[in-house]
Chains A and B, each alone.
Chain A
Amino acid sequence: MNIHEFQAKEIFARYGIAVPRGIVAATPAEAKAATQELGGQSVVKAQIHAGGRGKSGGVQLVRSPEEASESAQRMLGSNIVTPQTGPEGAPVHKVLIEELADIKKELYVALTIDRGHRSPVLLVSIHGGMDIEEVAATNPQDIHTEPIDPLLGLMPFQTRRLVRHLGLEPAVAGDAAKLLTALYQVFVDNDCSLLEINPLIITGDDRVVALDAKINLDDDSMFRHADLMAYRDVSQEDELEAQAADLDIAYVNLDGDVGCLVNGAGLAMATLDVTTAAGAAPANFLDVGGGATPEKVSSAVKIILSDPKVRRVLVNIFGGILRCDIAGEGIVMAYKETGSTIPLVVRMLGTNVVEGKEILGASSLPVVFAETLTEAAEAIKQLKV
């Protein structure tokens, strides 16, 4: 789950990490008043769940409360398109009004779980305020990676080493070390999958301040973070993806017209690949999961059918934990409830496959059966849409 910059900064502040003074505004009038309160000048920052705002008009320096109002007017209610959002962009419902910062130095700090080390890693770079992928491509030697033993936590000798890599003067070294320690605590306490500050700044008066803040939370940890669920902003999520998430269905919206219903993530990816190889384009990734009931399968099918792009449906079920008859029942249920006439190709294998096919065969659904993946892809191609 992603959260907004202002929410991440709320968390930071609770851990004693310095952030600029800021006020969240939902209207131009609030943006104006906030700028007034911050001394007449501010930075207006669109709150969306995507990076790359700066280059896309989502961050603006304003010199007066009126300018802040105008800037907020432009951003609020609009969609901001960044390289990370896709062409439709992300809607702005709130802006963060922040005091201007006196920047002496811009740094980069991030924490994530590294598969190679099988542990958390802390990344630092002296190139703050830039796209870190770009730094990795052009100056990889300037990114220092510090693996952290999760049983020990971030040790003081490591923070000293990191501070050294950042080339910080003695005047700020202590504060920087404290910040890194606090940051690791944020990462652990909140089950972050990614925590990034870009840039972390050193101010003219030698304070260490998180000018930006990005936090992604581990979805699998949410059972112990009821409080953090309050940070969820569904307006930033794809509507169908949000619906699916609420039903505990793994779903990713794609561009094509073939709705895909599959059990298992690997088989679902394989189904997309086979569909694509046959010259058709999948409308979605969907893994209905192992222990699905007819009701859950039906909900999954209804999500597929409610997608206006979908002109044909491909069902690929390898019955194991999920039995084919359960899948069949769920599919029939969804078509009956929606009255849909979208044609479907069904490929079923494994547990109770005979019963599953009987249920679908006995229904009035526009269904074509296929035995193998190749046949299924061919049948999808043949469907007149």
Chain B
Amino acid sequence: MGVLVDENTRVLVQGITGREGSFHARACMAYGTNIVAGVTPGRGRTMFDDKVPVFNSVEEAVAQTQANMALIFVPPPFAPDAIAESADAGIPLIACITEGIPVQDMVKVYRYIQRKPVRLIGPNCPGLINPGAKCKIGIMPGAIHLPGRVGVLSRSGTLTYEAVGQLTALGLGQSSCVGIGGDPIIGTNFVDVLGLFDADPGTDAVVMIGEIGGTMEQDAAAFIKADFSKPVASLVVGASAPAGKRMGHAGAIITGESGTAEFKIAALNDAGAWIIPTPADIGSTAQKMLESNGLLN
């Protein structure tokens, strides 16, 4: 159970020989993730930590290892190429952790992957984790997670850990946690993942962490109102941010009324979502939501 990744996920790490790639590949393996290959052009036919074969191309890696997911730790100038290479090789799921890809590169890559049978998570995201399946594909600290039945969905990295930390502290385990990324152009949005959580028998309810900028939260609100069958608790951060200033994430910038936290919260409230009043109340609000829906056991 859980969404997108599980025991059958065979991960290929692009950039496995780099500083970040190697550090996180080890952490993922230690958590239980099945990492079957690494790709670094020019470093083929070597072994990573005596365990994982490294290939020159994704194509070779897939042919040799039947990898069915790519995790990308490639620096921004080369990340668009890495995404396109995996899509070209027929990989059905890609998570791109890289932060700082030029937006005009992303709009092109987005067009390209639209023509392929592939889902991209990110870029500029923490990745995704299915604690019950011991499958961590990303940079989140594995130890804070607890197997369970709450789906967690977020545009942020550390704030997702905060949310998970609060849930775990109350004994509320997670079915899957998906960080979709903080950039303006990302492969997978809230609505996509909400749809997956809705269809997942292992997920009872969802905690969704939004932020200022764009209209993804409003789109999610419309979807929750019309098509979503499970309870959702939602937080939108950035209420105290001034307009026109980029709050770290390239996507977190208020450029009109619809980008404000207030506007987004109103839409989610109208859709019947449980509103998490402040970032300190994520766990307690989720608990109330589960309790009132008879989902606490």
Contact = CB atoms under 8 A, between A and B. Distances in A.
A264 interface: yes
A265 B162 contact: no
Nearest to A117: B107
Nearest to A287: B248
| Chain A interface SS verdict (over half) | mixed
Interface string B98-121: 001111100110111000000000
Nearest to B261: A273
Given A319-B141, A377-B280, A266 B157 contact: yes
A318 B160 CA distance: 10
B247 A221 contact: no
B78 to A, nearest CB: 11
A150 interface: yes
Most buried by A among B182, B247, B279: B279
Contacts of B214: 115
Contact of B241 (A115, A193, A269, A321): A269
Most buried by B among A265, A271, A319, A373: A265
Nearest to B156: A266
A145 B247 CA distance: 27
Contacts of B248: 250, 264-266, 268-269, 285, 287
A46 to B, nearest CB: 19
| Chain B interface SS verdict (over half) | loop
B104 A150 contact: yes
B141 A267 contact: no
Interface stretch (A62-70, A199-207, A274-282): A274-282
B244 interface: yes
Interface in A173-220: 188, 191, 193, 218, 220
Given A274-B279, A285-B241, A220 B103 contact: yes
A330 interface: no
A151 B109 CA distance: 9
B108 A270 contact: no
Interface in B127-146: 139-141, 144
A84 to B, nearest CB: 7
Interface string A158-176: 0000000000000000000
A4 B112 CA distance: 34
B44 interface: no
Contacts of B157: 264-267, 290, 320
Contacts of A377: 280
Contacts of A87: none
A342 interface: no
B238 A115 contact: no
A113 B104 contact: yes
Given A113-B104, A273-B240, A373-B280, A264 B156 contact: yes
B252 interface: yes
Given A191-B102, A220-B250, A270-B279, A118 B165 contact: no
A350 interface: yes
A309 to B, nearest CB: 15
B280 A119 contact: no
Nearest to A271: B279
B77 interface: yes
A318 B247 contact: no
B46 interface: no
B65 interface: no
B244 A350 contact: no
B95 interface: no
A267 B158 contact: yes
Most buried by B among A151, A277, A320: A320
Contact of A218 (B102, B239, B241, B279): B102
A270 B236 CA distance: 9
Interface string A23-61: 000000000000000000000000000000000000000
A242 interface: no
Contact of B76 (A116, A220, A269, A274): A220
Contacts of B212: 269
Given A267-B159, A285-B245, 10 more contacts: A113-B103, A133-B256, A151-B108, A265-B182, A266-B209, A269-B238, A273-B240, A320-B139, A321-B23, A374-B280
User: What 4 A-B pairs are tightest by C-beta distance, nearest first?
Assistant: A266-B156, A265-B248, A264-B158, A266-B159
Interface of B: 19-20, 23, 76-77, 100-104, 107-108, 110-112, 126, 139-141, 144, 154-162, 165, 182, 184-185, 209, 211-212, 214-215, 235, 237-242, 244-252, 256, 277-280
Interface of A: 84, 113, 115-116, 118-120, 133, 149-151, 188, 191, 193, 218, 220-221, 223-224, 250, 252, 254, 262-277, 282, 285, 287, 290-291, 318-321, 349-351, 372-374, 377
25 contacts: A113-B107, A118-B110, A150-B104, A218-B104, A224-B102, A252-B247, A262-B158, A264-B156, A264-B159, A265-B248, A266-B159, A267-B157, A267-B161, A269-B156, A269-B159, A270-B237, A273-B238, A273-B240, A275-B240, A285-B241, A285-B245, A290-B157, A318-B161, A319-B141, A349-B162
